Amino acid sequence: MLDAVLPIGFAIFVWWFSTGIVLLLDGLPRTTFRWSHLISSLLALGALVGLLHTAPQTTPAGAFCAFTCALLVWGWHELSFLTGWVTGPRQQPLGEGALAWPRFRQAVQTILWHELAILASGLLIATITWDQPNQVGTRTFAVLWFLRISAKLNIFLGVRNLSIELLPVHLKYLGSYFRRRAMNLLFPFVVSAASAVAVFIVNQALDAAPGSTRAVGAWLVSTMLILGILEHWLLVLPLEATALWRWALKDTTGRQTPTMNLPKPPPALSTTPTDEKLLHAR
């Protein structure tokens, strides 16, 4: 198990640190966004080259590199969304009286370009690593993609913790599409499915030779999936989900969101008093 400490610790650190960096950059004055976009875009392009370079490699170093490159590409999408650069064609609150399908359709319109950009990146990564032995980068990106879609759906349907302090001022209109409630019916199914996949990947890591490329890759991917499951539980547990990134949230001005008068959902959609807010889940 000592051979698993390095990939697990590395995945945890990169997850924690990269999330904090994105939050820190997002909280800076908007005049800095152009430089953030330039640097993150260059890193993302370099990461795509790195994925192409490491795809045929069958070494632990190749697995670490592919994992990091996938996170760099993902970080570009995170930053581009939170800074308002790539969002969707709709940039206004939920329409008056919109329920059910109209509410869902309008919500999708607010993030459509962002989702299509992620889809394009996922297809590109799958293409450049197709039929290659090193699939760590592709699997990492797929795990992040699944977790992000799940988090967005759960927040849309309703969860306890929405971490409003993470909401940038320029994206405050998104708060009207989400609601607060103890839990929703989708949550247990998603968490159960993700947990089953995590157990499967951990078993692959345990069955592989300690320190081998297969073991390192499985530990990296499974750790990221487990961290995503943890983030899902933080949506519904009475805990402060942002405590780990307090260092990235201090001394910033981009998230000081004014009070929003948002429409309340009908009783049939929520069993608790609603205060609609947003967490852009990672």
16 falls within a domain: yes
The Cα 244–Cα 218 span in angstroms is 25
pLDDT digits (tens, 9 = 90+) for 144-176: 999 999 999 999 999 988 776 677 888 888 888
94 falls within a domain: yes
What distance separates the 2 farthest-apart alpha carbons in the chain?
Answer: 59
pLDDT at 48: 97
Range of the domain at 231: 2-258
In three-state secondary structure terms, 159 is strand
Q: Is the pLDDT reported for residue 275 higher than 70?
A: no
Asked if 277 and 164 touch (Cβ cutoff 8 Å), the reply is yes
pLDDT digits (tens, 9 = 90+) for 217-263: 999 999 999 999 999 999 999 887 778 888 887 654 455 544 444 44
166 falls within a domain: yes
279 falls within a domain: no
- Work out how many domains the chain is built from and give that number: 1
Distance of CA 172 to the CA centre of its chain: 18
The Cα 278–Cα 275 span in angstroms is 10
Residue that wins the pLDDT comparison between 240 and 188: 188
pLDDT digits (tens, 9 = 90+) for 13-36: 999 999 999 989 988 888 999 999
Residue that wins the pLDDT comparison between 11 and 101: 11
269 falls within a domain: no
DSSP 8-class letter at 168: -
Percent of the chain with pLDDT over 90: 66
Which residue's entry shows tokens 């609603």? 274
221 falls within a domain: yes
pTM: 0.86
270 falls within a domain: no
Q: Is the pLDDT reported for residue 58 higher than 50?
A: yes
225 falls within a domain: yes
